[in-house]
Structure formats: C-alpha cells, structure tokens
Amino acid sequence: MWNIIMKDIIPIFVIMLLGFYAGKSKAFNQDNARSFNKLVLNYALPAALFVSIVKADRHMLFEDIKLTLVSTFVIVGVFMWSFFSCYKFFKHTKGEAAVCALIAGSPTIGFLGFAVLDPIFGATANTGLVVAIVSIVVNAITIPIGLSLLNPGGAKVQNQLIKDLSSETGIKKDIDEFEQEMQKLEKNPVISALTQPVAWAPILAVIIVLLGIEFPPILDPNFELISKANSGVAVFAAGLTLSGLKFEFDLEIIYNTFIKLILMPGLLLIVGLLVKLDPIHLQMLVLSGALPPAFSGIIISSRYQVYVRTGTSSLAVSVLLFMVAAPFWIWVTRLASTWNI
C-alpha cells in the first residue's frame, strides 16, 4: 500500500500542484485550462479509450455486463440522490440542485481515470473498459439528465449566462455561437452527449469488438501517441483549473464531499460484492467511484453561474481528500474481495 501511495498517488498530486502553481503564477490562465480540457476530452481521452477497448474480445465484453449494470445503477442512483437531497434538505432551486448533482454525483473519470488506474492496475484492456463504461454513464446519462433538470429549474439562467460571458475576460468564444450550442444541448441532451468523441469513440470500439473485427495492431501507434498525453495533461489541467477557484467550507460542502468520496464508492463496493463482480474489476470500479467530482459539472456551473461557490469548494475539498480516500478504498476493496471469495 505504501508503494501505491508513493509511486501512483503522490505523482498525481505533484503534477496537479504544478498545474496549480502555474495558474497562480500566471504562467497559464483559465483560458489555457479550457484549451487543455478540450484537448483531453475531445482528442486524448477518446483515443485512449478506443485503443484500449479494441484490444478486448467479445468474451471479455460479455463478462463486463455486470460491471455496466452496477456502474449505471449506482452512479445514476447517487446522482439522483444528490439532486434530491440538495433540493429538499438544503433548500436550493431545482437548477442549483441539478448542478450539485453534476458535481457531487459524477466522478471525474475523463480527467483522472487513466491517470489513477493505469499505474495501479496496468494499462490493460480491462482498465480501458472500466474507464470507458464509467465515462459513458457519466457523459451519456448523468450529464444529459443534469442539463434536463437544470433548464426548467433556472428561469433566467440563459440571459444571465450571456450577460456574464459578455463581460468575462479571457473568453474569446462568440456569444451567439455559444448560445446556439447550449440551446442544442438543452433540447437534445442525450443525442448531443452521444455526439461527443468521449462518448462515441468507446461505443464504436465496442461495436468493432462485438462484430468480431480484429483491429490491426499496426494501427495502434496512431492512437497511442495522442492517448499518452491524456493522463499528464489531464492532471495538469485539473490543477490549473483549481488555481482559479475560491475555496470555502461549510456543512453542505462536507455533505457533498461525503457523497462523492464515501457514499458512491461504498455503494459500488456493496453492490459489486452482492453480484460477485470480478475482484479486479471491483477494485477499479470502486476507485473510479471515489474520484473527485467531474470537472464538467464545474464548467456547466461556471457557464450558467449557478451553484458556483459551493460547487467549486466541493470540488477543491474532494480533490484534497482524495489523497486519503484513494489508498483507503484500495485497501478496503482488496480486503472485502478476499472475504467475499
């Protein structure tokens, strides 16, 4: 366990701190962070997911049906609970509760998935499948649900969004183009989500495997070169993004952190044990569930100017405490898997 902490967990935080320092020292700004995030989500991560999945076979995919069902059931369930509790217990609007769920109820699998899992479990097809499955659940299910809940919940979010963006420094994007993009996403959230490379690339890879088409290994380098940039750039961009956030602390932030770092991985562990999930898959899935909140939630929060203070602080606290949560869940899951056997 000590080797895992020193060789696998600590380096992630070192790179993240480097990104944080780069942001604070003005070497990079938040506009650069958005560019890095786009590089990861639209190019490096899809390539990494595709090349790892096409190395699998049909037998492996059929074995992963339980993994898919457990991931979907628990992640969507925790997402909806986060929405409900934020709306009912903390008395937020439905729009604010939707953003809360996008933050507290979604792991940042796209940014930190490979960075955390590859060093511990190896860069294998199994690792790629776990990251792909959780990515699809987050990007093709929870984000569209969150946007659907957000749109009717905030009566003036669109006008406020345009007003805020027009005065925000560092954003060069045309306002009319952005408004059309967001309206399209709100009208057809599922279709729009599935058109994103991070969603369709792993789905295409799964279809290739199911059809029994053998992907020529000689083509692997074409994807691996850009995919190797995924982990390092993602972690650096995470630190750079954090450098622009204001940290605060209250009961709701503690509650959101509990949902993300304790409730979600804990339920994944319990349900995974009940259905006798493969021990290695279970360990990877639980650790994926313990990842800090999805950065997409913070991006949506910032764009809509909804739940910004609590959302950004929840992300910051979760990132810091992940350093403790990661080795804890690795230890607990290995112990529980042994007992289950």
**CATH number for the domain running over 2-21+36-340:** 1.20.1530
How many C-alpha atoms does 311 have within 13 Å on its Cβ side?
29
Q: What is the sign of the dihedral through the CA atoms of 37, 73, 254 and 232?
A: negative
**pLDDT tier for residue 169 given thresholds of 50, 70 and 90:** very low
Q: Is 170 left (phi over 0), alpha (psi -120 to 50) or beta?
A: left
| Residue ranges per structural domain of the chain | 2-21+36-340
**pLDDT tier for residue 173 given thresholds of 50, 70 and 90:** very low
Give the Cα-Cα-Cα angle 301, 97, 67 (nearest 5 degrees): 90
Q: Residue length, the chain?
A: 341
Least confident of 65-69, 219-223, 280-284: 219-223
CA distance to 11, 50, 104, 192, per residue, from 43 (Å): 23, 11, 26, 17
| Gap between the Cα atoms of 47 and 119, Å rounded | 18
Contact 114, 131 (CB under 8 A): yes
SS3 letters across 109-160? HHHHHHHHHHHHHCCCHHHHHHHHHHHHHHHHHHHHHHHHHHHHHCCCHHHH
Give the residue from 71, 86, 58, 13 showing the smallest Cα distance to 264: 71
% residues pLDDT > 70 (the chain): 80
**pLDDT tier for residue 183 given thresholds of 50, 70 and 90:** low
The predicted model gives 181-193 an average pLDDT of 56
Instruction: Give the residue, 264 or 31, on which the prediction is more confident.
Output: 264
CB 84: neighbour CB atoms within 10 A? Answer: 12
Interaxial angle between packed helices 308-340 and 295-304, expressed in degrees from 0 to 180 and rounded to the nearest 10: 160
Beta bridge partners of 107: 293
Q: 232-254, pLDDT tens digit by residue? A: 777 787 778 777 777 777 899 99
Q: 99-140, pLDDT tens digit by residue? A: 899 888 889 887 778 888 888 888 777 888 888 888 888 877
218 has pLDDT over 70: yes
Candidate ranges 34-38, 76-80, 195-199; pick with highest mean pLDDT? 76-80
Average per-residue pLDDT in the chain? 78
Candidate ranges 42-56, 132-146, 322-336; pick with highest mean pLDDT? 322-336
Contact 203, 20 (CB under 8 A): no
CA distance to 14, 29, 196, per residue, from 23 (Å): 14, 6, 28
Strand, coil or helix: 293: strand
Contact 147, 211 (CB under 8 A): no
61 has pLDDT over 90: no
| Gap between the Cα atoms of 84 and 112, Å rounded | 27
